[in-house]
Chain A
Amino acid sequence: MVNAFTSSIGHFNYWASVLLMTSGIYIVLSRGNLIKKIIGLNLFQVSVFMLFISMGKVTGGTAPILTGRHEIFSNPLPHVLILTAIVVGVATTAIGLALVVRIKYAYGTIEEDEILALDLAREQMDARAQ
């Protein structure tokens, strides 16, 4: 029982990541607004960042900077990977938002169901024209 309790405390970082990740997925799946979907994807992304950084933590360690006063460091490799991932994530967010703006210009709306209805209407018109 005690063993199960300590192991569950030791895994709370994974659980927080899972919670954030599933919230992000839920937003992406259940909301029709494209900007809201991108925000959901962002939430998903941050959950992955949390997962990596929390796996890099070493109890009693400090930030991985060689000052000469500390000998135990947290693992710097996840930090490097996530540094890259944050910047790339913002770049992809920018692309996504640019696509949303283009969709707004082309369709006049950014709600998924309205876009699908417009597409359907256009297909039916094309079929009738032939």
Chain B
Amino acid sequence: MIIRIQNLFPVVMLSGAFSLLSAALFVSMDAVDVAFTEAAVGAGIATVLYLSAISLTGAIEKPPSGSRAIPLLVMTGLAAMLLYGTADMPAYGDANAPAHIHLMPEYITGTRTQIGIPNIVSSILASYRGFDTLGETGVIFTAGAGVLLLLRRGRPRRELANQGGNE
């Protein structure tokens, strides 16, 4: 549906709904923190961003031109390679997967003894991997500054004249 519809407004609505659905899936996979971030940021802020973008650029997409053969070929090739790669991966929910037996017990006991807060995700986010979070903040700041710079310079003249008063 998201692929085929050419009016962008329902596409944006559908991708918001998809985001909410994926948040529900994250809850069922025990990732509650991720789920509410996805619901707030993915379904909320991203949808608002898309809506404001299509209000500035127009909501009707041109019908696709050119052949579909090449994208379909790339897609099936990629899917085949990825599926071949998953054959060696640990099964869903496997407690003995390498990701769970290395480093993870230390994080869990460390949260109990060193950090002392109940939420392990917060303790890793803010303490064990604090530099990652600092980098994330840097990325967000850069993105915000970039958006401001991009949109401020380029307004058409008449809009600048309208909004000159409040800047």
Contacts and interface: CB of A to CB of B under 8 A. Distances in A.
Interface class of chain B by DSSP: helix
Contact of A65 (B3, B92, B118, B154): B118
Contacts of B52: 97
Contacts of A30: 64, 66, 68, 71
Interface class of chain A by DSSP: helix
Contacts of A88: 136, 139-140
B136 A42 contact: no
Contacts of B136: 84, 87-88
A7 B99 contact: no
Interface residues of A, number: 79
Contacts of A128: none
Given A55-B99, A80-B124, A33 B68 contact: no
Interface in B35-75: 37-38, 41-42, 45-46, 49-50, 52-54, 56-58, 61-62, 64-66, 68, 70-72, 74-75
Contacts, number: 252
Interface string B87-131: 101111111010110011001100110000011110011000100
A39 B37 contact: no
Interface string A70-104: 00111111111111101111111111011111101
A90 to B, nearest CB: 5
Identify which of B54, B62, B78, B99 gathers the most chain A CB atoms within 10 Å of its CB.
Answer: B62
A80 B22 contact: no
A11 B86 contact: yes
A14 B150 contact: no
Q: Which 6 A-B pairs have the closest CB atoms?
A: A10-B91, A59-B93, A91-B143, A29-B71, A74-B30, A14-B86
Interface of B: 2-3, 8, 11-12, 15, 18-19, 22, 25-26, 29-34, 37-38, 41-42, 45-46, 49-50, 52-54, 56-58, 61-62, 64-66, 68, 70-72, 74-76, 78-79, 82-83, 86-87, 89-95, 97, 99-100, 103-104, 107-108, 111-112, 118-121, 124-125, 129, 132-133, 136, 139-140, 142-144, 146-147, 150-151, 154-156
